[in-house]
Amino acid sequence: MAVIQIDKDLCTGCQECTKVCPTFAIEGEAGEAQTLVEERCVMCGQCVQKCKSYVSLIDHGKEAYAAKRAERLLPETVQEPLFAAHNVSHLAELIAALNDPNKFTVVQSAPAVRVGIAEDFGLPLGSLASGKMAAALRKIGFDRVYDTNFSADLTIMEEGTELVERVTKGGILPMFTSCCPAWVKYMETNHPQLTKHLSTCKSPQQMAGPVFKTYGAKIDKVKADKIYNVSVMPCTCKTYEAARPEMNASGHQDIDVVITTRELGYLIKYKGIDLATLPDEQFDMPLGEYTGAGAIFGVTGGVMEAALRTGYTLITNKELGNKDLDFTAVRGSDGFRTAAIKIGDLTLKVGIVTNLKNIEPIIEQLKAGTLDCHFVEVMTCPEGCITGGGQPKLLSDVDRQDANDKRREAIYQHDKDLPLRKSHESAAIKKIYAEYLEKPCGHKSHELLHTHYKHD
């Protein structure tokens, strides 16, 4: 399916996009319109973030601009420059669903969205806008405002249990994270024989999908076929992930539509809402509850750190104290970093890959049997989800780095400020296992929360 496109009418051939593409999926001569090779594209949207060729109201006039805006099915309230490299928008489809009285609309928003969305409303870079975003989503008209952070905690319960089972029972190691769909697609396309190393866990977005349409449907007293599940993501590849044919564990398409952080900004403005002035509101419970572990999924190393906090308890049956929760060894944005973490009698060897451009040497080590790790996190984007292709766009490299630094700081501070910082401590997580899922990596959770991959 088409997720990323390069508009040949607008592309000037500056080749900024080719420099950041991790899979060399963009081709063309300098000074000429570039071509996207869909077979190699992992839809990460880094080209969208970097593109500098555009049409605007000021430079090209109302008629030319309006034509491109209409072509991309964007609301008339959108007035910012439209760039050559862009993600295909599903905003019109979402607006139609919000106006359909027969649909029960449920929305989730990823950890990185809340440290990006406020930038589009004049607030300082990296502003944490959890409460304002929840308020805006409710004013837009969603029937339930839930949170991907809840299912990030759920992911840790499943993935942590899966890792412990692989380590203690002789499963396939190293185990790689599976929450980044661009990374999963890269493996399926280029190294299908190695997909057995991927965790079978779905991403937090895709865990939320069937949970909202089954367990959530019971809570909300609504039929699953009436639920219209919406995801707000920093990632352009999430649209591809949601459309995968196996993502129907609820008996329906689990996620109906995905929009980016940028598109949420468009939608809020279309509805005439000023996010900056909204008083904070809470997410709906129980599927809007989350811990600091769920919140840090938005930064590179965050999935690893969250897994270590719960993995420690799963292995030792003891709890880490608050002073021991910061696994700083896995934090950072360098291409590949490793750490040896002592957990009881086990020394867990972990690795973190930041930016898919750095993955091939790791793959070669894996093939050669020299990759000395139990668990490896891989994030396609330069600094994890906070730098996703769907985040607010900044043209200046200096501004972009400043935004990334401040988004990262805000996520870690949010983690520190939350009353609970380990996924297994969440009352909502305990409740869903007690009432519905039974146990991590059990029959019911495998049915809803785990998946399979293309392989040789």
Place of tokens 């890792």: 163
For 88, which DSSP code?
P
- Cα distances from 212 to residues 12, 247, 285, in angstroms, run 44, 13, 12
Tokens found for residue 131 = 């409460």
Residue of 232, 219, 287, 223 whose CA lies nearest to 252: 223
Cis-peptide into 181, omega within 30 deg: no
Helices 148-169 and 204-213 cross at an angle (nearest 10°) of 110
| Positive or negative torsion for Cα 244, 166, 445, 431 | negative
In the annotation, is 162 catalytic?
yes
In the annotation, is 246 catalytic?
yes
Tokens found for residue 212 = 């909202």
Gap between the Cα atoms of 231 and 109, Å rounded: 6
Given the residues 41, 51, 385, 441, the one annotated as active site: 385
Given the residues 179, 201, 235, 441, the one annotated as active site: 179
In the annotation, is 47 catalytic?
no
* Torsion (CA) 90, 146, 439, 417 in degrees, nearest 10: 120
In the annotation, is 179 catalytic?
yes
Residue 362 CB coordination number (10 Å): 19
Given the residues 199, 250, 423, 426, the one annotated as active site: 199
Write the Ramachandran bin of 141: left for phi over 0, alpha for psi from -120 to 50, otherwise beta. left
Given the residues 119, 158, 159, 289, the one annotated as active site: 159
For 95, half-sphere exposure in the C-beta direction (CA atoms, 13 angstrom radius) is: 16
CA angle 222, 144, 116 (to 5 degrees): 150
* Sequence-separated (6 or more) residues with CB below 8 Å from residue 58: none
In the annotation, is 238 catalytic?
yes
Residue of 285, 305, 281, 280 whose CA lies nearest to 294: 305
Backbone angles phi, psi at 178, to 5 degrees: -135, 15
Given the residues 162, 305, 377, 383, the one annotated as active site: 162
For 237, which DSSP code?
T
Given the residues 132, 185, 213, 238, the one annotated as active site: 238
Given the residues 27, 246, 360, 438, the one annotated as active site: 246
* Sequence-separated (6 or more) residues with CB below 8 Å from residue 328: none
In the annotation, is 119 catalytic?
no
Tokens found for residue 314 = 């799963």
Tokens found for residue 204 = 């937090």
> Which residues belong to the active site?
159, 162, 179, 199, 238, 241, 246, 385
